[in-house]
Structure 1
Amino acid sequence: MNPTPARLTACTFRPFPLLTRHARTNIPAMHVRLLLGPAGSGKTWRCVAEVRSALRAGPDGPPLLFLAPKQATFQLERQLLADPALGGFTRLRILSFDRLAARVLHELGAPAPELLAEEGRLMVLRALLTTHRERLTIFRATARLTGFAAELSGLLREFQRHQVAPERLARLAAEPALDAALRGKLEDLARLLDAYLDWLARHGLQDADSLLDVAAAALKPTAGKPRPPLRFGGLWLDGFAEMTPQELDLLAAVLPACDRATLAFCLDSPVHDTGHWLSHWAPVRESFRRLRDRLAALPGCELEIETLPRAPARNRFAGAPPLQHLEAHWGAPLAFPAGPGRAVRVIACANPLQEVTVAAREILRFTREAGGRFRETAVLVRSLEGYHEPLRRVFRRYGIPFFLDRRESVAHHPLAELTRGALRTAVWGWQHADWFSALKSGLVHRDPAPLDRLENEALARGWRGRDWLEPLAIPDQPRLAARLETLRAQLVPPFARLARTLTEAPPSGPELADALRRFWNDLDVEAELARWADAAAEERAESAAAIHRTVWEQMLTWLDNVRLAFSHERLPAREWLPILEAGLANLSVGVVPPALDQVLVGAVDRSRNPDLRQVILLGLNEGVFPAPPAAPVLLTQTERSQLGALGLDLTADRRRLLGRERYFGYIACTRARERLVATFSRADAADRPLGPSAWVAWLQRLFPALEIETAREPAGPAEVIHASELLLTGLPSKRLATPAAQFLAQAAGWTSEQLAQWRVRGEPAAERLSPALAARLYGSPRLSTSVSRLEQFAACPFQFFVAAGLRADERQRFEVDARQRGSFQHEVLRRFHETAVAAGRRWRDFTPDEARDCIGRIARAVAEEFGGGLLQADEAGSLTARGLTRMLQDFVAALVTWMRRGYAFNPVAAELAFGGRDATLPAWVLPLAGGGQLAITGQVDRVDVAPALEPDVLWCVVHDYKSSEHRFDALLFRHGVQMQLPAYLAAVCALDRPGGLPALPPGGPAAGVRLRPAGLFYANLRGSFPAGKSRGEVLGQAAEQAASAYQHRGRFTTEALDVLDARPDGRPSGQFAYSLTQAGELSRRAGDALTPGEFAEIETRLRAKLVELAGRILAGEAAVDPYQKGARLRACDQCRFQTVCRIDPWTHRYRRLG
């Protein structure tokens, strides 16, 4: 006999009847009220009031259930306990659907199933993808990709929540009406879902997503099995806009066990069956319809639908008519007859950071001027991504207590990084990045300084792999070696034990979990995390403290999932690694609100808001809120539509998603009962332009008199709302150490560390050192520095300050970088010169083939010892050495060819150092104002000399080796950015005893000769070869053309032209850049030749610029003031200290050279 269908009664409130039995079916009658009403009509208040009444009437009766979204349970507990007459309760359970399922199984006495958490699910899916990859058709190529397991997990969750079995997917895959690609996808998904469910069955596990099905099945009567004797005193449901088939099943199974039930929905009328899909009621209407139909089919269900009226005098918005108007006419905007006043405001901001700052100022103004509490304000966004960090940073600065309603990812928490690094270290053989990522997690060694020193030495000396399992040795620094070896001996044992467990034999899941737990215990991780939590709490970083306290339990849960999911599987270490990393990447923790009076910050679709007087809605921008429908990854929207046509309706289609956004907009704008403050940005954080959201225009249609305000910074102290604003806007950074600044910092609640951090962030453009401090840093009255350092100062004073004042430097790395390649080539050329001198030969005495052979022998010898075996450490280094050697052979062959034909100069020094610690020649000293001196040091790559016409005079040329074509730039020279070659030439020619040069031409003048500047040149070691159609064409170029590829660029005096290029035919050899007219005269159109007067002017300008720069250095200039030449060339391009500098290259006004 069919049971009597549910009876619909009038929409009026009356007390629940006593529990009776249905006359025809002997099934206990249940009374279910569907409580409807728009936002602010009192649905939650009614539910809370009924629960309070039930608790006061019978504190010890059957359990009462209150179903709410997971994130809302805490707020409901607070709301219930706000009644002073209700001191507490033991009868009520405020639960999410997941916890309801667990509660039902507990009440039935069923054994608690072993549940696999999301991280365990991901690890199993990653293992299955590895096992079944070759059997997949569509997803075979992508199965290995990072993130694929997470996407697959989300899609399988959709299948489970919509109760789609593998068999149904397989049947759909056989449908000829579907595209071939879709059929292939369904076959793959059916195979993977079946394999996953089979894995769970074989291991006796339940997926958390199937828990609701298990609980619903346990409650349903079957043949030979009556309904379990489970009773609940009542059930209330509130806060759900949409419900999945799983949730509907469980609710329908639980309701017959309840004496009464109130199910509340945000819906203004039950008659919406034909409502438009774009209506903001559409998502709730669909859930309501499905639930109503499901309950109507339950035997003995007395169904009542009650709709709460808007009741303007009694609802949430009774004191704010504009908000009342907004709620009533959100679906079809109707103009409000007056201005919204302070009830509805829209503020335009420059960027999201300013939006957050506006929110902070509004919150403080609300608490001071309107007598509000922090808990009476909520800050809502469509998504917290992109906002959570600015919100956290700005609210802390303004001293606003807040709770960020967001699960915090701990995938990169130090404990996760330690574990990931340790696993990779063991699997990949102690590679540097893996090993030091674990060491520097903060959980291995408390003091980072020794680890930094150890890492620096490891990078410089190439320690890697099994080097860490042997004692460290530094032959030339035994004391340092002893310290580092002591540290190594402390660090390695826990990692070595873990590595043995992983690599000696394939471990099972329980063995691996036990090994990781021992590893953590060896490092005393739990105690260290507790210390971190206590320290964070002392610094008022409650969120960080909560994460440190929670992450330990989360990681233990992760190990439990490893133990459960892989209880019998033994896998090699390399197969374990991607499985474990898939689980680690998904770890997150939920944080309980740490205080009662705090601002709630959350996403519109997640946060459950308490009774609010003010809501600040951020991010009303196009493409942000309303959010565009996210594109599905594994199944496209078109494919989902095809499946929907065959009866598999997984999720809302694009139209329903748009309706959902309308609903979220409605919810966000109707949370507050007094004030709504909405903001939007003109540009995003990357300075890309943004337009206002459709909701801004919507609000303007509702309130035609609404004026868009523009956010601005405080114009003066009278507009400052927090002491930090005086620090940030009214006080130069150089005055932050004054007592006034300390007082403001104390008033702002800043710690000394926060103040120090702001001093570092202060605007640097006007910074100067005191002359006394500059003298201490750089030396006085004698400033000793190199030309390259002075060029740094000319390029940017701050760059010089970091390099010469702070003496910062890059880490030395055991790798063949550009600097190492240059050092190798310079060393080979130096030894070539010394070899020639030792043999009593000049460079020109070598034939090109002899020079090639000599360079080859020297290069092989240098490569064996260079950089501690850097060029012999691997095949890449050896290949680099051979390539650099061939390059030098071609270069020297071209040089000796020129020397034998027309270049009359002879090299007399290579790598000539002057003024340095080990230099044989003195520094070049220039007098400064006030009696000081500038002592210039340096090292010249090569010095060439040739006899001049005057007796006791030698022409002098200096060369600077470059790895590519380099030219003398007159503009950069005038501004001091390119002075090295002119300074080297001047310094060498200023020697009192040029005979002190390491070598002079055989039979040359005596030591008392005078050197005369002839030229300065950049020598291109690589050569500039014209492009060809093929490699053979380029390599087969004529010798004359190949030699011209090594043309020297720079400046030279025409007086020395006959000595520089004395070819018999009188035509330019191509070694230098100049040209002759048809009459044989020097052409002035192009080239590097200068008249004697012009060439002499170089040294005059040089001396003046050197003295000027030295004076500015000693005066204390240290501003961040980089130059820009033209449209592209900037000092920052080659700066090694960009991580130290504080400018924004997009907004900084560069010093333009002209």
Structure 2
Amino acid sequence: MSKLQIILGAGGSGKTEYLIRKALQEAGKDYHRQIYYLVPEQDTLAMQKRIVSHSENQGKGILNVDVLSFQRLYYRAFENTNQKSPLSLDEMGKMMILRLILGKKKKQLSYYQREAESLSFVEECKSQISECMQYKVSPEELRKCAEKSKRSITRAKFLDLAYIYEEFLLYLSKTGRITEEGLADQGISALWKDNTLKDSILIFDGFTGFTPIQLLCIEVLMERAGELYFSLEFSGKNISALGNGKKRESLFYLTEEAIKELYQRGEKLGVEILSPLSLNEIDSRTGEARPEGALLPRFEKIPALQTLVEGFLQGENQEPETKEEQSPKTESMDKSKPYTGGVYPSVPHGISIIEATNISKEVEEACSHIRYLVEERGYRYQEIGVVLPDVELYRDAFFQQGRKFAIPLFLEEDIKLFDSPFSKVLRSALEVMEKGLLYDSFFRYLRAFPYRDMEEEDRIDALENEARAKGLKGKSAFRSLFQEESLLEADALFSLLEENEGSHSLKERIESLESFTERLMALFQLEEEAIFLKNEGMDSLSQSLERSVSQIQLLLSKMKEGLGGIPVNKKEFSAFFDMALSLEKLRQIPATNDQVLVGDLTRSRFHNPKAFLFLGLNAGLIPLPPKKKSLFTEEEKSFLRQEHCTLSPLAWEESYIQEFYLYHAFLSPKEELYLSYPLRIPKGRGGISPILQEVLRLFPKLKIRKLDREIQEMQSFSQAKASLSKELPKLCKKEALFRSEEEVLPYFQLESFQLLHSLWQKEEYKKDLEKLLDAVFWENRHLPLSKELSKELYGEKIRGSVSRLEGLNRCAFFHFLRYGLHLQERKEAEIQAFDLGNLYHKLVESFFKKVKEEKLKGEVLSEHFQEYLNHAIAESEQDPEFAPFLEGGRNQYFLHKFKENAKTILWALERQLSGGDFQVEALERDFNYDSDSLSFRGRVDRVDSYLDEEKNYYLKVLDYKSGNTDFSLDLLKAGLQIQLPLYLSILLEEEKKRHPDYKLHPAGLFYFTMDNPNLSFKGQTEEELFQEKLKASRPKGLINGDKNIIFRMDRELKGDSLLLPVKEKNGSIEEKGSVAKEEKILAMLSYVRERVEEDCKRILEGEKAISPIREAMDKTACTYCPYHSICGFDPNLPGFSYRSLEKGEEEAIWDEWIEKYRKKES
């Protein structure tokens, strides 16, 4: 008959020490008797080292002691019974089989039919089926539970899962495959035949509980082995009640459950159950009784932790009064009754609690403390452990601070193959295969290759600019980019696309991807990336990278062998590959022994480090959130448990389990426990965790160190520099310069200035500090370029267009970047507002070109309107710029809108011309303007003229605008609307030379908005709507107030003009708004000439101030500026502000200009 004994003890009581001694003593008695020492998988290597190096192990060997996990025990049984070890399906294999089943059988489902093929559902389904197999719940049992359920939704869910589960098992049976759960079943069968188990000793150490499959294995071992010992954690002294199942203590719920299960199975099999041994009362090394109040072995150097052992969450949490499966109303850690025992009477040596403002500061302080432990207290890095509630949340901060403090870190997390650089290249290639050759996907693929040199990067940038400018689509279009010089990465992609054109099965697509992978291997610079990661302090990641390539190749091979024959399209193949990559993980191997282990609360194994740092004890992170989603709700899982189909723990049980892991973690260190929490976390609430409040309850004299209220000890220059960067700007504000000596003197007593003074004495820090001080006292100074540099950038004569000067007057820095440094926005082949504007310009030009050729006007012009309109649209469609309108649904909409608007635009322009006596003089009239300092070219959209009998020659200019533009004297005076006035001035000058006998007069300058005005219908007649539409289409601008000229532009003028922005009253014209006397217009044109010369002078003198103008409340020079990321303008920063548009009385502006004009003329 076999024997069973439970070894109980609190954390630090020496349970492992006792069992190792037991194993070595028994092994020495009889070398033919086998001792199996079972531990969790991740502890096997560490336990082997510990046993070999133990002081009781005289021979330093383990001849008849085997350290195994449950899985290794199965493989050992296969070996001992001469059975071939079966290959089990991994998680990826399960998902692919389920994906195949769901694709074929989804119509058989009722509740899950819609989401059957989504990857998230497949993954949840895989997890739920694995859980059922692990807990020995069959499809038939699920069906029985469905029949008993009164809720239709629950019934449908159970039936759907039972059907999928059954189909999954049927597929495994047909193909001869097994899962890891199936491997355990075969391993248990092999254990029955393994003769080495006879009279053997089995020791189970490091387990917190056992799954149903592990318990089945233990049942076999109870019948086959001689003695079984189980170590379990328990800090109480009353051990006689353990295992009777009458009540649970929240903290040791797992221990309670494990003992109950072991005792029930032992009693059923007739095993001799020995009394539990409590190491809380017996010394694990000597076997003698422990004196009352004596410290446990681990806590000899940190006695305060004994208080945690005896008091941490020791209030009794009552079992739920309702059925077993009902969860408590509040979380267990919030409802535990106060511990009635003592609290620690003094300040606890070796325990500290730190409060930081955020995660970054928290990690910085932790790394600073690690540095202190190593440099000042002589710790090795491997003697320090760090535990985190959320490794992903803290990862970046730890890598950053680890580099800063030169700390070798081993972050214990699985790296998803999905995130490896090589995977990114393959996934980006598959995206091109799935979506087609578009420049976004194509250049994402090219940029997925890491560590190109600058020349290669510049070439790809140039290729992308060219592709976007041309709007390339399709393979032939992209091949044209590489006619002069090929690119191997592009060639490999083109080959992959060609090979997949005729592929249908998963195997064929995988083979083409394997060929693609082989071609990439020569291109992928693994060595450079590995070196980069090592230089960044990520040695473990560097090793993982090199393994990731072979792992991906193995993954493709497994996919091909498993489901190679199934047909898949490109989209499905891409989804399969993403799914496989997301499931495959790379376990990191420590690059060296001497590293700080950074891990999580439940999976990582910390072998009693000297110092233990627990970060993230924030109320939003601890208690931990649920680990994963489940197909079943808590209520449904409770119902299953009622029907004796127990699955994973319920939420209230998880809270007990979590408390236990926290308790276990707090008792890990031998010399120091460091606890910290951030006040703020991303997307979560802040504040101290309730579990930390429990620690403070036990240690009332322990004070929280609040980092924002103290000057931290600096462990590195980079830390000191960061502190100075934060503190000095607060103390060195402008107003400090005007304070008295008595007011300023206290500043120099502050820690920040003392630190600055101390560092300034060291020569190696001076250059960095000078840069820091320059940054602290930097402000936006309007320093111009030197005249020599201006001459180099702009030349001796300013060239360009008038819009260049308008850009200068909006913001001089914009002008410097655009025309000095020639920075341009990337061109893209997509229809934008200016594209439509260009087409409208050409349409109008084509229409009026025909009018000018035929010399039509008045009613005759109106009669030919439709003919000329059709001609203009037909001619526009032949223009190369029209081609993009013919591609894509969005552009087709623009085409429709373009034709609709064109009719209204040309109708309005035709009415405005035919309603007067002016004729089209010129279309797209080019101008050149030369002076000593500048040479400008320009083009006005249309010039109309009228010549009367007395040779008075009237000229007006018309500028077509895509957006709504109004004439403003304030904008003109500020230099923001000088283009059209300058063109009119040059036109008058040129026409005077051509017609010296004519008397030249400015008739006006107009802005015409090329748009279809939106009018509200309020029961108007057709004639009234016609008049409203014509009135809404009137041009805006400035018109000569001579009524003879105005009536030549609108022959039928009466009241409000339908053609011009003027109003007639009793035969006279009101001179206001858009109407001005001729002298005013000439004075304005003279001002514009002077303004242009002044602006050129400013450019040549090197003006480049970051000083944008505010034109209106909702419009500034920055509104559409593409250079904001370069200038960094922020009106909230010192030295930055908008210039206000000067607004004056119109008459005052006119008077000023007329006075200057008259002086000049005289």
TM range (shorter): 0.7 to 0.9
Structure 1 unmatched ranges of 5 or more? 1-21, 23-28, 473-479, 733-740, 914-919, 928-932
Alignment pair present for 1:393 and 2:400? yes
- Cα pair distance change 1:493/1:315, threshold 3 Å: same
Distance in structure 2 (CA, Å) of the matches to 1:188 and 1:126: 15
Q: Which residue pairs with 1:506 in the alignment?
A: 504
Which structure has more helix as a fraction of its residues? 2
- Cα pair distance change 1:838/1:723, threshold 3 Å: farther
- Cα pair distance change 1:514/1:1047, threshold 3 Å: same
Q: Which residue pairs with 1:814 in the alignment?
A: 829
State the Cα distance separating 1:416 from its structure 2 match.
1.9
Alignment pair present for 1:453 and 2:462? yes
Distance in structure 1 (CA, Å) of the matches to 2:773 and 2:511: 47
Matched residue type, 2:827 = Q
Matched residue type, 2:1028 = Q
Distance in structure 1 (CA, Å) of the matches to 2:275 and 2:815: 80
State the Cα distance separating 1:331 from its structure 2 match.
0.4
Q: Which residue pairs with 2:512 in the alignment?
A: 515
Alignment pair present for 1:862 and 2:833? no
Distance in structure 2 (CA, Å) of the matches to 1:642 and 1:852: 78
Q: Which residue pairs with 1:464 in the alignment?
A: 473
Counterpart contact for 1:234–1:259, Cα < 8 Å? yes
The 5 A counterparts of 1:795-944 are 803=818, 807-840=822-855, 847=861, 850-851=864-865, 853-867=867-881, 869-874=883-888, 876-901=890-915, 921-922=928-929
- Which sits farther off after the overlay, 525-534 or 358-367? 525-534
Q: Which residue pairs with 1:265 in the alignment?
A: 232
Q: Which residue pairs with 2:320 in the alignment?
A: none
Q: Which residue pairs with 1:985 in the alignment?
A: 980
Distance in structure 1 (CA, Å) of the matches to 2:564 and 2:202: 39
Alignment pair present for 1:143 and 2:123? no
Query: SS at the partner of 1:403?
Result: strand
- Cα pair distance change 1:696/1:65, threshold 3 Å: closer
From 165, 169, 175, the counterpart of 2:138: 165
Counterpart contact for 2:5–2:276, Cα < 8 Å? yes
Counterpart contact for 1:379–1:617, Cα < 8 Å? yes
Distance in structure 2 (CA, Å) of the matches to 1:1060 and 1:254: 113
Query: SS at the partner of 2:392?
Result: coil
Counterpart contact for 2:307–2:344, Cα < 8 Å? no
Q: Which residue pairs with 1:703 in the alignment?
A: 699
Alignment pair present for 1:36 and 2:8? yes
- Cα pair distance change 1:182/1:1062, threshold 3 Å: same
Q: Which residue pairs with 1:589 in the alignment?
A: 586
Distance in structure 2 (CA, Å) of the matches to 1:647 and 1:668: 33
- Cα pair distance change 1:989/1:497, threshold 3 Å: closer
State the Cα distance separating 1:856 from its structure 2 match.
4.2
Q: Which residue pairs with 1:289 in the alignment?
A: 260
- Cα pair distance change 1:372/1:575, threshold 3 Å: closer
Alignment pair present for 1:721 and 2:715? yes
Counterpart contact for 1:1023–1:1045, Cα < 8 Å? no
Q: Which residue pairs with 1:356 in the alignment?
A: 363
Counterpart contact for 1:278–1:658, Cα < 8 Å? no
Q: Which residue pairs with 2:1012 in the alignment?
A: 1023
- Cα pair distance change 1:83/1:179, threshold 3 Å: same
State the Cα distance separating 1:764 from its structure 2 match.
9.3
Alignment pair present for 1:329 and 2:338? no
- Cα pair distance change 1:796/1:78, threshold 3 Å: farther
- Which sits farther off after the overlay, 1061-1070 or 587-596? 1061-1070
Distance in structure 2 (CA, Å) of the matches to 1:1013 and 1:359: 78
Counterpart contact for 1:941–1:961, Cα < 8 Å? no
State the Cα distance separating 1:857 from its structure 2 match.
3.4
- Higher alpha-carbon Rg: 2
- Cα pair distance change 1:1071/1:526, threshold 3 Å: same
State the Cα distance separating 1:672 from its structure 2 match.
3.1
Matched residue type, 1:243 = F
Q: Which residue pairs with 2:183 in the alignment?
A: 211
Q: Which residue pairs with 2:686 in the alignment?
A: 690
Alignment pair present for 1:306 and 2:260? no
- Cα pair distance change 1:202/1:67, threshold 3 Å: same
Q: Which residue pairs with 1:67 in the alignment?
A: 39
The 5 A counterparts of 1:378-389 are 378-389=385-396
The 5 A counterparts of 1:510-589 are 511-524=508-521, 528-530=525-527, 532-537=529-534, 540-573=537-570, 575-589=572-586
State the Cα distance separating 1:792 from its structure 2 match.
6.7
Cα deviation code 1:674-733 (max 9, x no counterpart): 4444333343346x7634332343344333344443334997xx953222235545579x
State the Cα distance separating 1:1143 from its structure 2 match.
8.9
The 5 A counterparts of 1:473-484 are 482-484=483-485
State the Cα distance separating 1:562 from its structure 2 match.
0.8
The CA RMSD over aligned residues, in Å, is: 5.2
Distance in structure 2 (CA, Å) of the matches to 1:1055 and 1:641: 93
Distance in structure 1 (CA, Å) of the matches to 2:780 and 2:808: 15
Distance in structure 2 (CA, Å) of the matches to 1:669 and 1:636: 32
Alignment pair present for 1:174 and 2:147? yes
Q: Which residue pairs with 2:207 in the alignment?
A: 240
State the Cα distance separating 1:1105 from its structure 2 match.
11
Counterpart contact for 1:995–1:1008, Cα < 8 Å? no
Q: Which residue pairs with 1:627 in the alignment?
A: 624
Distance in structure 2 (CA, Å) of the matches to 1:1126 and 1:531: 53
Query: SS at the partner of 2:578?
Result: helix
From 1043, 1058, 1064, the counterpart of 2:1030: 1043
State the Cα distance separating 1:309 from its structure 2 match.
1.7
Distance in structure 1 (CA, Å) of the matches to 2:1013 and 2:811: 31
From 636, 651, 655, the counterpart of 1:654: 651
- Which sits farther off after the overlay, 423-432 or 121-130? 423-432
Counterpart contact for 2:141–2:645, Cα < 8 Å? no
State the Cα distance separating 1:120 from its structure 2 match.
2.4
Structure 2 unmatched ranges of 5 or more? 282-292, 315-337, 727-755, 1141-1162
The 5 A counterparts of 1:1062-1077 are 1064-1069=1052-1057
Matched residue type, 1:959 = D
The 5 A counterparts of 1:629-778 are 629=626, 632-685=629-682, 690-712=686-708, 719-726=713-720, 728=722, 730=724, 771=785, 775=790, 778=793
Cα deviation code 1:14-45 (max 9, x no counterpart): xxxxxxxx2xxxxxx3x444332223333344
Query: SS at the partner of 1:125?
Result: helix
Cα deviation code 1:53-93 (max 9, x no counterpart): 778999998574442253x4555566557669886768766
Percent identity for Structure 1 against Structure 2: 20
Q: Which residue pairs with 2:85 in the alignment?
A: 112
Counterpart contact for 1:73–1:96, Cα < 8 Å? yes
- Cα pair distance change 1:503/1:899, threshold 3 Å: closer
Distance in structure 1 (CA, Å) of the matches to 2:1082 and 2:385: 73
What TM-score comes out, normalization by structure 1 length? Answer: 0.78
Counterpart contact for 1:402–1:599, Cα < 8 Å? yes
State the Cα distance separating 1:180 from its structure 2 match.
0.9
Q: Which residue pairs with 1:374 in the alignment?
A: 381
Q: Which residue pairs with 1:280 in the alignment?
A: 251
Matched residue type, 1:482 = Q
Distance in structure 2 (CA, Å) of the matches to 1:43 and 1:1012: 104
Distance in structure 1 (CA, Å) of the matches to 2:723 and 2:450: 39
What TM-score comes out, normalization by structure 2 length? Answer: 0.78
Q: Which residue pairs with 1:153 in the alignment?
A: 126
Counterpart contact for 2:839–2:882, Cα < 8 Å? no
Counterpart contact for 1:138–1:185, Cα < 8 Å? yes
Counterpart contact for 1:996–1:1007, Cα < 8 Å? no
User: Aligned residues, how many?
Assistant: 1061
Distance in structure 1 (CA, Å) of the matches to 2:466 and 2:434: 24
The 5 A counterparts of 1:243-258 are 243-254=210-221
The 5 A counterparts of 1:57-96 are 62=34, 64-70=36-42, 72-73=43-44, 75-76=46-47, 95-96=68-69
Cα deviation code 1:776-811 (max 9, x no counterpart): 884355565667667777777776666556544444
Cα deviation code 1:335-363 (max 9, x no counterpart): 84556467444333333222222222232
